[in-house]
């Protein structure tokens, strides 16, 4: 069984508190995008997990997804899982969380398990994993477990995602936050939801960006360099970093910047469009 594991970008991201267990409370507008890993999940005599073109050591989100699924549903058959990576790691794009959700979803189909029963497992793997069981656009709050899928659709909005080769640890980025005052009230954003570029221009925000840029001046320099060369409407950092997102009103301008940026050494550039799941359509 072949499935695609899409990335996400945070159109809005605020960190509004920290619990006694060390986890943080967020308010965020997630958007699934077309940049994706490709995963094959097939029954086999024993479990085997591999990642294309890279050596991955330790207990990855894919390992955790398979283990928790087996423990929860008593799965007896083994599975071979192969991940062909395109989403950069440590980039603020949710690649590991997306992989886990995709594997859980594939196993649910193969084993005849209801989707609703996957959410408790997803939360145990990582705070972003539950979102990827829904995809599309969603308002995400709490520790990432409170998800409100939204019917809003972005129209005539095109993204260019730039990974500058700088790995940013999510835990490290959270450790930089020392101000939990809300940027705005969530209802102000939800009440103004729209699918236009003007809507995005008004609401785009990332609390991490000034903190991460102050600590990683190399990342701030990259954004300054690319901003000068870009024809985008605006740009921002996604998640806890380090990926930079450039927003366009036309695919032609996006493609021109992609060609321009590709001449820069040590960065990866990806075109990406908003993604909405067929099951979400009313």
- Positions marked active-site: 8, 128
Dist. CA 199–CA 225, nearest whole Å: 26
Dist. CA 33–CA 112, nearest whole Å: 27
Phi-psi region of 281 (alpha: psi -120 to 50; beta: other; left: phi over 0): beta
User: 10 Å Cβ neighbour count for 94?
Assistant: 29
* 244 has binding-site annotation: no
Q: Are the C-beta atoms of residues 129 and 207 closer than 8 Å to each other?
A: no
Dist. CA 116–CA 114, nearest whole Å: 6
H helical segments located in 112-139: 119-125, 129-134
Q: Which of 163, 158, 166 is nearest to 269 (CA)?
A: 163
* 29 has binding-site annotation: no
Q: Are the C-beta atoms of residues 233 and 181 closer than 8 Å to each other?
A: no
Q: Are the C-beta atoms of residues 223 and 176 closer than 8 Å to each other?
A: no
* 92 has binding-site annotation: yes
Q: Are the C-beta atoms of residues 105 and 129 closer than 8 Å to each other?
A: no
Dist. CA 158–CA 254, nearest whole Å: 7
Burial (0-12, 13-18, 19+ Cβ within 10 Å), 244: buried
* 89 has binding-site annotation: yes
* 150 has binding-site annotation: no
* 7 has binding-site annotation: no
* 135 has binding-site annotation: no
DSSP labels, 55-68: ---S--HHHHHHHH
* 238 has binding-site annotation: no
* 95 has binding-site annotation: yes
Residues of each annotated binding site for ATP: 88-98
Residues of each annotated binding site: 88-98
């Amino acid at each position: 069984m072949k499935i695609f594991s899409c990335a996400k970008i945070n159109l809005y991201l605020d960190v509004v508190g920290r619990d006694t267990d060390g986890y943080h409370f967020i308010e965020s507008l997630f958007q699934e995008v077309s940049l994706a890993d490709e995963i094959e999940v097939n029954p086999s005599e024993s479990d085997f997990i591999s990642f294309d073109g890279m050596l991955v050591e330790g207990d990855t989100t894919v390992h955790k997804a398979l283990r928790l699924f087996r423990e929860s549903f008593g799965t007896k058959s083994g599975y071979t899982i192969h991940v062909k990576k395109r989403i950069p790691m440590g980039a603020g794009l949710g690649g590991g969380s997306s992989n886990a959700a995709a594997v859980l979803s594939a196993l649910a189909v193969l084993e005849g398990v209801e989707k609703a029963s996957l959410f408790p497992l997803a939360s145990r793997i990582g705070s972003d994993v539950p979102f990827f069981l829904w995809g599309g656009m969603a308002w995400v709050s709490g520790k990432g477990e409170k998800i409100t899928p939204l019917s809003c659709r972005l129209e005539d909005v095109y993204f260019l995602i730039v990974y500058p080769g700088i790995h940013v640890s999510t835990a490290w980025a959270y450790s930089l936050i020392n101000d939990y005052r809300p940027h705005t009230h969530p209802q102000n954003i939800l009440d103004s939801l729209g699918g236009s570029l003007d809507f995005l221009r008004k609401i785009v925000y990332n609390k991490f960006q000034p903190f991460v840029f102050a600590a990683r001046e190399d990342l701030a320099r990259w954004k300054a360099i690319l901003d000068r060369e870009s024809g985008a409407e605006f740009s921002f950092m996604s998640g806890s970093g380090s990926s930079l997102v450039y927003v366009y009103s036309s695919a032609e301008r996006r493609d021109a910047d992609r060609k321009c940026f590709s001449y820069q050494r040590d960065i990866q550039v990806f075109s990406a469009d908003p993604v909405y799941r067929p099951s979400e359509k009313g």
